[in-house]
Structures are given as C-alpha cells and as structure tokens.
Amino acid sequence: MPNVSTNGIRLAYERTGHGERVLMIMGQAAGGNVWSMYQVPALESAGYEVITFDNRGVLPSEVPPGDYSLADLVTDTMGLIEALDAGPCRLVGTSMGALIAAQVAIRRPDLVSCCVLMAMRARSDAIRRAVSAGEKALARGGAKLPPAYDASISVLQMFSPVTLNDDAAISAWLDIYEMSAARRAAASGQQAIDLTSDRRDELRAVPVPCRVIAFSDDLMCPPHLCAEVAEAIPDCDYVEIGACGHLGYLERPDEVNAAIIEFLSKK
C-alpha cells in the first residue's frame, strides 16, 4: 500500500475512483480495508473518489509505542488530507472515526466540506462508562483473553439479534474476529483514547453540514446517544437504520450506503 508521513508517523492509505473526494475514517482497532466490502464500491459507482486509510496503531500503518490520544489521530488525519492534497473533502466516519471526523471539521474547516457520522455518541452513560473502564483495566493489567473468547464477546457487542440468531452468518463472523484478534491487540495504544467524555459543547462548534446515522440495535452507541450528537451540531440531520448493531454498515450495507450517498449528493 502507498503511505504518507504525517505527524511523525507513517500512514498507509488507498485511493480509488474519480470525482469529488470522500475520506473514510474507521473506528477503534479496525482497518480501513473494512470499507472496501460495501462502502467503497458503492461510492465509486456514485461517482466519487474514495480514500481509505489505517489509523495509527493499525497495521500496515505505523504502530508507535505507548498510548495514543484522540488529538493524535485527529492531527494524523488532517496531515493525511494535506499530504494527499485532498481538501476540502467529504468525511465519512464510524464510531471513533466519526469522532475524529467531527474534530477535524472543528479544527480545520478548510479541509472539510461535510461529514457523515455513524454510530457516534457525544457522551457515555453509566453502562458504556463501565464497559470502557473495564476494558482499560484489562489492558493495564496485561490480561490477554483467549482469541475465541475475545471473538465471542466482540461479536455480541457489535451485531444485532438478527445476525446473532443466524447461525451461518454469526459463525463466519466468529471466525473472522478470532483470526483478527492479533491485529486488534496490536492496536492497544488506541485503548487509551478517551471515548467517554461529554463533548456536546464541543460539537456545537462543528461548522459544516453533517448527517448522523444511528443503528437501532447498537449496544455501543445506541440511538438515543447518537441523537444527542445530531442535536448538538448546528447543521445536522439524523437517520436511524433498523435491524442492525454497531457494525450496521456491514449488516445493512444497502440502506447505509443509500443514506450516505443521498446526503453527500446534496453537499
């Protein structure tokens, strides 16, 4: 993969298609190649140039030692846009990637024309704070879960009952998560990123048009918390897609792609 140097590290990226530029920003411990399953082909067909990349800590991008901050990844992303001469571009992010997108828009509005923010929360409630604290305690203690167990817990958190109750579908996802356990472990520096603070006041400073996309069965970023993001951002609408969990863009790709493209086509 090609790469660029930004913020003192090397980021791997891919750039495909022709047209107005769309930068896709993936969530915690996941690779940019996940977008290539459904979103990249749909956006290319709709006439966009699509840029995907791996955040710091996710191979083949650089994996610097130590803990990372949200500001690190935001600065990385701004540097990537500048290095590729891609701004102003449309940003599409999910989960942590959506939070990065919003922060880039606040800090460098000249690089951003609009944002699609999927599965993003502006704050955490009691149960999400507890999950985050537990995961960080495991990491600090050096605990390493067996890959099969780690996969089962991840799948329970990420998918909707529709998928969880489909034995054939969920068996495939369990295999995928078990095989990718080592890659997720390599991204341990991302676990220190603060994803629980209340950022509603910050989001009032987002200066570009946005669309929040929530997934009805999302346990990590449930619709009521996603709706708070849409309420905080001055120019923002809200779409909720049913029968999918935190990875709704994989469970319901046609509906998600339609919601992304319909919004981008107006901006």
Q: How many CA atoms does the CB half-sphere of 133 hold within 13 Å?
A: 8
Number of domains in the chain: 1
Question: Band of the pLDDT at 186, cuts 50, 70, 90?
Answer: low
Residue numbers annotated as active site: 95, 218, 246
Residue ranges of E strands in the chain: 3-6, 9-17, 20-25, 48-53, 89-94, 112-118, 210-215, 236-241
Q: What is the pLDDT of residues 192-242, one digit of tens each?
A: 899 999 999 999 999 999 999 999 999 999 999 999 999 999 999 999 999
CA 116 from centroid of its chain's CA atoms: 11
Task: Indicate the pTM of the whole model.
Answer: 0.95
Q: Tell me, what CATH number does 98's domain have?
A: 3.40.50.1820
Give the structural domain span for 52.
Answer: 3-264
Q: What is the pLDDT of residues 113-152, one digit of tens each?
A: 999 999 999 999 999 999 888 888 887 777 788 889 989 9
DSSP state of 208: S
Q: What is the pLDDT of residue 39?
A: 98
Q: Does the structure show a pLDDT above 70 at 245?
A: yes
User: For residues 254 and 43, what is the distance between their CA atoms, to the nearest angstrom?
Assistant: 11
